[in-house]
Amino acid sequence: MDKRARAVSPIPLCDPHFHLWDLRARPNPNLGKVDGHPLPSYLASDYLRDVATIPSDLRLMSSVHVETIVGQAPGGAQLDSVSETEWVCGQMSPSEVDRPFFIVAFLHLARSATERERELEAHMAAAAGRLRGVRMILNHHDHNPELTWPQVAHGAFLGDRSFRDGLGLLQRHGFSFDLSCNPHQVGAAVRLLRDFPDLPVVVNHLGFLHEGEDKAHESLWREGIHALAGLPSVSMKLSMLWFGCAAYNLDEKKEQRVSARVLEVIDVFGCDRCMFASNYPVDKFNGISLAQLYEIYLSWTDGFSDTERSALFHDTAVRSYQLS
């Protein structure tokens, strides 16, 4: 990728993955208890304050809030996902004139058709035209708690008929699906997604390459990346990179390892199917400021063309989530 003359104006930025919460006013056991939590509340005002620190090379144009419900296991804490959509819209709407925002909501895709359709319609009404997609986290491992997200009941959803029907519901409505699963689950995901060629799929967090696993884990991750890239409707979020290498922002050798994996994924998918995302504030309490995060992203793409950078920082997210 050849370095070319830079445009004078800032690169447009869409942040396609951020979260808001307030555990004091809106308890969410899946995010932990208030006492001892590293960040018990993160409101729209906090996010916008952090956004104001990003490098001047970038200008935030829009953003996508991604659900924090995580999972809804039988017998566990049942959270009102529609209420979250309503609350986030109330938080973000005062700044909407300058920076439009959109919603990726939680929907339990493996429930009955009646329940799915009723909840999706409720999200659509609550989001008032801002709903763009759904995420139902699937990260589960039978033996490794580090790879199992709260209240993800089991690892068999990708083979579940009701879940398949839920993806069909999203495709019919023209919504996207955020795919959040571990490398060992990707094979099943690819087999299923082949049957939904018109469903935009956004893979979360570099495909969840996890630090501390064996070489087979990374080989499986790499195999999955290539398999996912074989599906034209799939794009990739380059985010939550500390999951694959903690404190990479503080160590040059670690950063080189992470940047190599990111550039590898970009080579496989292409810039027009990859998007940088903040994952804020989760990266915040993992020791990475928003300014530093985007400075790192900019440094890794310093040799890219303006068109390639525009895709990575803005255009891919806008197209994948149908924001325009």
**Helix, coil or strand: residue 146:** helix
**Helix, coil or strand: residue 290:** helix
> In the beta sheet, which residues pair with residue 237?
275
For 275-322, write each residue's pLDDT tens digit. 999 999 999 999 999 999 999 999 999 999 999 999 999 999 999 999
Structure tokens at 119: 């909840």
Beta strand pairing status for 21-22 and 41-42? Answer: antiparallel
Q: Compute the distance between CA of residue 226 and CA of residue 237 in angstroms, rounded to an integer.
A: 15
pLDDT of residue 99: 95
Question: Which CATH code for domain 16-320?
Answer: 3.20.20.140
User: Is the overall model pTM greater than 0.85, yes or no?
Assistant: yes
The CA dihedral of 280, 81, 156, 223, to the nearest 10 degrees, is -30
Structure tokens at 193: 């997604």
pLDDT of residue 3: 46
Decide if 162 contacts 108 (C-beta within 8 A).
no
Q: Which helix (H) or strand (E) holds 269?
A: helix 252-269
pLDDT of residue 2: 42
For 43-53, write each residue's pLDDT tens digit. 999 999 999 99
- What is the SS3 assignment for 32-61? CCCCCCCCCEECHHHHHHHHCCCCCCEEEE
Domain range annotation of the chain:
16-320
